[in-house]
C-alpha cells in the first residue's frame, strides 16, 4: 500500500471542475445504476419469493403490485436494470474496439440513453 | 502484482473476463424470463412455479445466482477501490475498504443463500 502511495503522481481529483462529456455521464450512470441494483435486487427477489411461495402469496404479490408506489418501484428497478444492461452491451461492443473513437462513443452514449428511456417507457406502459 | 490486502483478487484479467461472462449469462436469463412474462399475460401461481421449477430453469437460475454473485462482487469491489482510498478517507482508508468489502461479501452471501433456497424449494 505504502509503495503504491509513495510514487509521485499528479493528483487532480476535482470532479466538479472539468466538463462532463456524455460518455462520462453514461459511464457514471452505469456505475450508479449498478450500485442501486445491488440493493434493488432484494426487492425483485422478495417479489419473486412471494409470488412463488403459495397461491395466496401470488395473490398478495398481485395486490402489492396493483398499488401505485410498489408498481412504480418495480418499474424503477427494471428501468435501472435496462440501462445497466444496454450500457453493458455498449461496453462489450467497445471492448472489441468497435466504435471506440470519441465521436462514435458519444453517439453510442446518446443511443444507449435513448434506447433505455424507450424500453423503460414500454415496460412502464406494460405494467401499469 | 498484489500490493494491498484489499485487492482480494489474483488477477484483474480474470475479473475482466468474469465480469463480462457473468453479464452475458444475466442478459440471457433476463431475456428468457421477459419472454415468459410476455407469453403469459394471464399468469397464475401454478404457471409461475411450473416455469421456474422446471429442470432447465432450475439449472439456469442456479447459474444466474452464481453469475450475479461474481458480477456484483467485481462491480462493488471496483467502486470500493476507486472511492475508498487515502485521498478521501485518510490513513485508515484500507481499514474502511476492508470493512466495506466484508459488508459486500455478507450481503452477497445472503443473496446467494436466499435465492438458491427460493429456487430449489420449488
Distance CA B67, CA B73 (A): 10
Chain B residue numbers touching A51 (CB-CB < 8 A): 45, 48
Q: What is the band of B87 on the pLDDT scale with cuts at 50, 70, 90? A: confident
Q: Calculate the CA B60 to chain-centre distance.
A: 14
Question: Tell me, what's the pLDDT at A9?
Answer: 75
Domain count, chain B: 1
Q: What is the band of B64 on the pLDDT scale with cuts at 50, 70, 90? A: very high
Distance CA A107, CA A112 (A): 9
Residue B103 lies in a domain: yes
The residue-averaged pLDDT of B35-41 equals 96
Query: How many alpha carbons lie under 13 Å from residue A86 in its C-beta half-sphere?
Result: 21
Cβ neighbours of A96 (radius 10 Å): 8
Chain B residue numbers touching A34 (CB-CB < 8 A): 75, 79
Range of the structural domain that residue B20 is part of: 12-120
User: CB B27 to CB A88 under 8 A?
Assistant: yes
Q: Which domains does chain A have, with CATH numbers?
A: 21-36+67-127 (1.20.1300.10)
Question: Tell me, what's the pLDDT at B106?
Answer: 98
Residue B40 lies in a domain: yes
Question: Tell me, what's the pLDDT at B3?
Answer: 65
Averaged confidence pLDDT in chain B: 93
Residue B2 lies in a domain: no
Question: Tell me, what's the pLDDT at A4?
Answer: 56
Question: Tell me, what's the pLDDT at A44?
Answer: 98
User: CB B30 to CB A3 under 8 A?
Assistant: no
pLDDT above 70: residue B96 = yes
Lookup: cell for B44: 397464475
Which residues of B touch chain A, with CB atoms under 8 Å apart? 3-5, 20, 23-24, 26-27, 30, 44-46, 48-49, 52, 68, 72, 75-76, 79, 86-87, 94, 107, 111, 114-115, 118, 122
Name residue, grid cell 432484494.
Answer: A42
Residue B4 lies in a domain: no
| A9 vs B111, higher pLDDT | B111
Residue B37 lies in a domain: yes
Residue B62 lies in a domain: yes
pLDDT above 80: residue B50 = yes
Q: What is the band of B6 on the pLDDT scale with cuts at 50, 70, 90? A: confident
Least confident of A87-91, B63-67, B82-86: B82-86
Residue B6 lies in a domain: no
Chain B residue numbers touching A55 (CB-CB < 8 A): 45-46
| A54 vs B9, higher pLDDT | A54
pLDDT above 90: residue B2 = no
CATH number, domain containing residue B64: 1.20.1300.10
Residue B33 lies in a domain: yes
Predicted-complex ipTM score: 0.91
Chain B residue with minimum CA distance to A91: B20
Name residues whose C-beta falls within 8 Å of residue A120's C-beta, 6 or more positions apart in sequence. A75, A78, A79, A82, A83
Question: Tell me, what's the pLDDT at A6?
Answer: 61
Q: What is the pLDDT along chain A (128 residues), one digit of tens a residue?
A: 455 556 677 776 676 777 889 999 999 999 999 999 999 999 999 999 999 999 999 999 999 999 999 999 999 999 999 999 999 999 999 999 999 899 999 999 999 999 999 999 999 999 98
Amino acid at each position: 500500500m505504502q509503495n503504491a502511495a509513495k510514487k509521485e503522481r499528479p493528483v487532480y481529483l476535482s470532479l466538479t471542475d472539468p466538463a462532463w462529456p456524455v460518455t462520462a455521464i453514461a459511464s457514471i450512470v452505469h456505475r450508479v445504476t449498478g450500485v442501486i441494483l445491488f440493493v434493488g435486487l432484494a426487492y425483485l427477489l422478495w417479489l419473486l419469493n412471494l409470488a412463488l411461495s403459495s397461491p395466496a402469496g401470488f395473490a398478495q404479490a398481485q395486490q402489492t403490485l396493483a398499488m401505485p408506489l410498489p408498481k412504480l418501484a418495480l418499474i424503477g428497478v427494471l428501468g435501472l436494470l435496462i440501462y445497466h444492461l444496454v450500457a453493458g452491451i455498449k461496453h462489450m461492443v467497445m471492448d472489441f474496439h468497435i466504435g471506440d473513437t470519441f465521436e462514435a462513443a458519444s453517439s453510442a452514449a446518446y443511443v444507449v440513453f435513448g434506447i433505455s428511456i424507450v424500453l423503460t417507457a414500454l415496460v412502464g406502459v406494460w405494467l401499469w | 502484482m498484489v500490493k494491498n490486502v484489499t485487492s482480494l483478487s489474483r488477477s484483474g484479467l480474470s475479473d475482466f473476463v468474469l465480469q463480462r461472462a457473468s453479464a452475458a449469462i444475466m442478459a440471457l436469463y433476463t431475456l428468457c424470463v421477459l419472454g415468459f412474462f410476455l407469453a403469459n399475460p394471464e399468469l397464475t401461481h401454478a404457471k409461475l412455479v411450473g416455469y421456474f421449477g422446471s429442470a432447465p430453469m432450475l439449472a439456469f437460475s442456479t447459474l444466474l445466482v452464481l453469475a450475479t454473485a461474481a458480477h456484483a462482487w467485481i462491480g462493488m469491489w471496483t467502486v470500493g477501490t476507486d472511492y475508498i482510498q487515502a485521498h478521501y478517507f485518510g490513513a485508515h482508508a484500507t481499514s474502511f475498504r476492508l470493512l466495506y468489502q466484508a459488508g459486500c461479501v455478507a450481503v452477497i452471501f445472503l443473496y446467494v443463500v436466499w435465492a438458491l433456497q427460493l429456487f430449489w424449494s420449488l
